[in-house]
Protein backbone atom coordinates (compact mmCIF):
# COMPACT_ATOMS: atom_id res chain seq x y z
CA UNK A 1 0.00 0.00 0.00
CA UNK A 2 2.85 2.37 0.85
CA UNK A 3 4.40 1.73 -2.57
CA UNK A 4 1.20 2.91 -4.25
CA UNK A 5 1.16 6.05 -2.11
CA UNK A 6 4.81 6.75 -3.04
CA UNK A 7 3.94 6.48 -6.73
CA UNK A 8 1.03 8.88 -6.36
CA UNK A 9 3.32 11.40 -4.64
CA UNK A 10 5.95 11.10 -7.38
CA UNK A 11 3.58 11.59 -10.33
CA UNK A 12 3.24 15.38 -9.93
CA UNK A 13 7.04 15.74 -9.78
CA UNK A 14 7.45 13.62 -12.90
CA UNK A 15 4.75 15.56 -14.76
CA UNK A 16 6.37 18.87 -13.83
CA UNK A 17 9.79 17.65 -15.02
CA UNK A 18 8.36 16.45 -18.32
CA UNK A 19 6.44 19.69 -18.90
CA UNK A 20 9.62 21.72 -18.61
CA UNK A 21 11.29 19.75 -21.42
CA UNK A 22 10.70 21.41 -24.77
CA UNK A 23 12.01 20.54 -28.22
CA UNK A 24 13.62 23.72 -29.55
CA UNK A 25 14.27 24.57 -33.20
CA UNK A 26 17.73 23.98 -34.68
CA UNK A 27 20.50 26.37 -33.71
CA UNK A 28 21.41 29.08 -36.22
CA UNK A 29 25.13 29.14 -35.40
CA UNK A 30 27.77 27.04 -33.68
CA UNK A 31 27.95 29.61 -30.87
CA UNK A 32 24.20 29.31 -30.24
CA UNK A 33 24.45 25.51 -30.34
CA UNK A 34 27.26 25.53 -27.77
CA UNK A 35 25.25 27.83 -25.52
CA UNK A 36 22.24 25.53 -25.78
CA UNK A 37 24.36 22.47 -24.98
CA UNK A 38 25.64 24.19 -21.83
CA UNK A 39 22.07 25.17 -20.90
CA UNK A 40 20.98 21.55 -21.38
CA UNK A 41 23.89 20.34 -19.24
CA UNK A 42 22.96 22.73 -16.42
CA UNK A 43 19.28 21.76 -16.60
CA UNK A 44 20.15 18.06 -16.65
CA UNK A 45 22.45 18.41 -13.62
CA UNK A 46 19.82 20.38 -11.70
CA UNK A 47 17.27 17.65 -12.45
CA UNK A 48 19.44 14.85 -11.05
CA UNK A 49 18.03 14.98 -7.48
CA UNK A 50 14.44 14.83 -8.78
CA UNK A 51 15.23 12.01 -11.19
CA UNK A 52 17.00 10.06 -8.44
CA UNK A 53 13.97 10.53 -6.20
CA UNK A 54 11.42 9.53 -8.86
CA UNK A 55 13.30 6.37 -9.86
CA UNK A 56 14.76 5.48 -6.43
CA UNK A 57 18.34 5.51 -7.73
CA UNK A 58 20.03 6.28 -4.40
CA UNK A 59 21.07 2.63 -3.92
CA UNK A 60 22.22 2.28 -7.53
CA UNK A 61 24.23 5.40 -8.35
CA UNK A 62 25.38 8.66 -6.74
CA UNK A 63 24.55 12.17 -7.91
CA UNK A 64 28.23 12.69 -8.68
CA UNK A 65 28.35 9.59 -10.89
CA UNK A 66 25.29 10.75 -12.85
CA UNK A 67 26.80 14.21 -13.29
CA UNK A 68 30.04 12.66 -14.53
CA UNK A 69 28.15 10.45 -16.96
CA UNK A 70 26.22 13.41 -18.41
CA UNK A 71 29.47 15.33 -18.70
CA UNK A 72 31.28 12.48 -20.46
CA UNK A 73 28.40 11.98 -22.92
CA UNK A 74 28.42 15.71 -23.68
CA UNK A 75 32.19 15.67 -24.24
CA UNK A 76 31.89 12.75 -26.67
CA UNK A 77 30.19 15.15 -29.08
CA UNK A 78 32.56 18.09 -28.58
CA UNK A 79 34.11 17.49 -32.02
CA UNK A 80 30.82 18.17 -33.84
CA UNK A 81 30.86 21.43 -35.80
CA UNK A 82 27.44 21.27 -37.48
CA UNK A 83 25.07 23.45 -35.37
CA UNK A 84 22.04 21.43 -36.52
CA UNK A 85 23.56 18.27 -35.06
CA UNK A 86 23.79 19.93 -31.62
CA UNK A 87 20.05 20.75 -31.71
Rounded to whole angstroms, the maximal C-alpha distance in the chain is 52
Q: Write down the pLDDT at residue 22.
A: 62
pLDDT per residue of the chain (87 residues) written in tens, 0 to 9? 455 566 556 555 555 555 565 656 787 888 888 888 899 999 999 999 999 999 999 999 999 999 999 999 989 988 888 777 755
CA dihedral 79, 69, 86, 14 (to 10 degrees): 180
CA dihedral 1, 63, 34, 27 (to 10 degrees): -10
Q: How many CB atoms lie within 10 A of CB 6?
A: 10
Q: Write down the pLDDT at residue 83.
A: 72
Q: How many angstroms separate the CA atoms of 53 and 64, rounded?
A: 15
Domains of the chain by residue range: 2-86
Q: Is the pTM of this model over 0.75?
A: no
Amino acid sequence: MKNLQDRKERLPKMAFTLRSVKVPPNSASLEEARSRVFDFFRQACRSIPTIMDIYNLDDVVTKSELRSFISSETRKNSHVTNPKAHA
